[in-house]
Amino acid sequence: MPKKKPIVTSLDEEMQDLLPTEGEIFAVALEPLGKARFKVKCADGTYRIARVRGKLRGRRHWIKPGNVVLVSVWDFEPDKADIVVKYRRDQVEWLVEKGYIEREFLEEEEELY
């Protein structure tokens, strides 16, 4: 029988694994393009085509317009990326409080919808 997963005691511990590393950047999903691809606006102001990584495909990780995601930019084609992480609302608030994302970046995207 499988063992129970360890309970995460705080959001700080949970978020340590979900922060961007080299080559990754925060983005907001703008519109679905089909075939698990999305148009996203990255924090650096660039619009990219991002595909959902295989691990995130499925019912638990529905990505909707306005969701904050972490994308890994392709080295050989900088206008494309892979969606690596989808953040929940409480995680987005934590990122804003800690200064990883500017609130203005999120408010710009809310005005579009």
Domain positions in the chain: 21-112
- Tokens at 53, concatenated: 């990584």
CATH of the domain spanning 21-112: 2.40.50.140
* Closest C-alpha among 100, 35, 41 to residue 65: 41
The model's pLDDT over 15-55, given as tens digits with 9 standing for 90+, comes to 777 888 898 999 999 999 988 899 999 999 999 999 988 77
The model's pLDDT over 45-88, given as tens digits with 9 standing for 90+, comes to 999 999 988 776 666 678 889 999 999 999 999 999 999 999 98
**CA angle at residue 73 from 68 to 101, to 5 degrees?**
35
Dist. CA 19–CA 42, nearest whole Å: 15
